[in-house]
Amino acid sequence: MAQPTRGTLEYYEQILNAPASTPLMKDQAQKAIERLAVTGQIQVQQGMGGTPANPQVKAVIDALQKAVDNYKGGSVDAAQVQALVEQELKRLKISFSDLDDNLKSMIQSTQKVELTIRQMGVVTSQSTSNASEVNRPLIQNLLSDLQAKNNSYLYGGAGTGKTYSAKIVKNLIGWELITLNCNQFTSPIDIIGGQTIDGYQEGKLSMAWSNEIISPDGQKRKVPGVVLLLDELPKIDPNTAGLLNEALAAIKDFDFDSQGNVIPPSILNGRNERLFLGNLYVLATGNVPLNTIDPDYEANFKQDLSLQDRFIGSTYKVFVDYENEFSRIMKGFAFIWIYGTKLREKIVELNATGQAFVSIRLMQNLRETYIVYRETLMQNKQGVQSLISNPKTIIESLETFFSLFKPATRDALMSDPKTSLREFARIVEEKNKMPFDATNINFDTPEEMAEGQAMIAAYNKRKTQI
């Protein structure tokens, strides 16, 4: 039996009557039927099949059909039909207060907010961003530090979103992101620049400080500002860290000349050239506080207390933001988030994060893989030629992830009903039966939404006990 075409009464009725349809999907389908009715696009005739289940929708369609039939018979003029349509359109208009609470939250979260960045009282950068990102407590703290020219340090376990937070800040303010990967092999050349066998190499700190990006071929590009990410800072050799320490201490050392003009702080690069500070925000990450030795992280060095002092008052322990992941990033894909989160918690329980861990990036990759899979199947069914004839499945993606673990860990994950790949495959099969609308993808069910909220509440309770 041929599938009903999108945009027809039969198509939306199928969504209304499907057991797997969520309340949101049914509500959208009902509104689509109403729009078709009041604009005269629905005609109850051969090929449309059946009547809508909703009595109000049926009444609208019946009234319009009767008016059209009378008009064809000459008993009602076109003006009367038009008046009826306009009346129904007016009746269907809604205000913001009429909206569902979830829809209100979604609209408010996408409103634009303006961020103004000041340096010594002078506006240096302005941008508009989504309120849903800006209003997160950690992001609020980081933006406050940016305004105050404080260096910030984030520490926490793998996959908690430390690096991701730096990217959010960078996107919010529209600056460049420069990452200095810190380890025992990080050299002064990596930081301030210097001569190599291939020629002079500019350092990451020097480029960030001057807001001037220099490519390997010597091309220079001026940028409005830089977020300098010192990734895994505890892993840097303490002697090398001294170069960073000196610069971090100087960030607020503005001075004035005899005419009262601002003189920005400066550093020397590998050529001994003086570089004046532009728009810079330093954000460092690590798995533990800077002055800590932790047996779980053997590559860490205990840093000098003076380096810790560069981030004093702006050091934050980072936890995974369940609410943001569930309600915003993975919205419409609760089934992936729920399974991924259970997998994440089990890996932590097994002390196996050193082998692999679940990050929001993994969840996003699983989501995009599933979308491509469904889109490809839909195109193949419609006879659309595609380069992908056998799309990768979400289960195949997870199999590659499970292969990263040692056999004993993998067996423990596979045998737990909460993290069993076989059980998740069953859930995916159920999702495969749900309608797929590329313009409005939403596979969430009321049961999954309730389970996700319960997981968030339990997680938040555990955090308060830490």
Pairing of strands 226-231, 280-286: parallel
Supply the pLDDT for residue 318: 87
Supply the pLDDT for residue 44: 38
Residue 87 CB neighbour total at 10 angstroms: 12
Can you spell out the DSSP letters for 44-60?
Answer: -STTT-S--SSHHHHHH
Please say whether the beta carbons of 209 and 247 come within 8 A: yes
Reduced to 3 states (helix: H, G, I; strand: E, B; else coil), residue 151 is coil
Supply the pLDDT for residue 214: 86
Per-residue pLDDT of the chain (466 residues; tens, 9 = 90+): 455 666 666 776 777 777 666 666 666 777 666 666 555 454 433 333 444 445 555 565 566 666 656 655 555 455 555 566 566 556 655 554 555 555 455 444 445 556 666 654 444 555 555 556 677 888 899 999 998 899 999 998 877 888 888 988 998 888 999 999 999 999 999 999 998 888 888 999 999 999 999 887 778 899 999 999 999 998 998 888 888 988 999 898 888 878 878 889 999 999 999 999 999 999 999 988 887 766 556 667 777 788 888 999 999 998 888 998 999 889 999 999 999 999 999 998 998 988 999 988 899 999 999 999 999 988 888 888 778 888 999 999 999 999 999 999 999 999 999 999 999 999 999 999 999 888 889 999 999 999 999 999 999 888 776 6
CATH class of the domain comprising 121-317: alpha beta
Closest CA to 173 of 240, 119, 124: 124
Supply the pLDDT for residue 439: 81
Extents of the domains making up the chain: 9-93, 121-317, 322-464
Supply the pLDDT for residue 52: 46
Query: Considering the entire predicted model, what is its pTM?
Result: 0.65
Supply the pLDDT for residue 192: 93
- E-assigned strands of 245-373? 255-256, 262-263, 266-268, 274-276, 280-286, 315-317
Question: How many angstroms separate the CA atoms of 363 and 329, rounded?
Answer: 9
Contacts within 8 Å (CB) and 24+ apart, 248-254: 248/151, 248/282, 248/307, 248/310, 248/311, 249/306, 249/310, 250/277, 251/149, 251/151, 251/277, 251/280, 251/282, 252/149, 254/120
Tokens of 9: 């009464």
| Length of the chain in terms of residues written | 466
Can you name the residues that pair with 436 across neighbouring β-strands? Answer: none
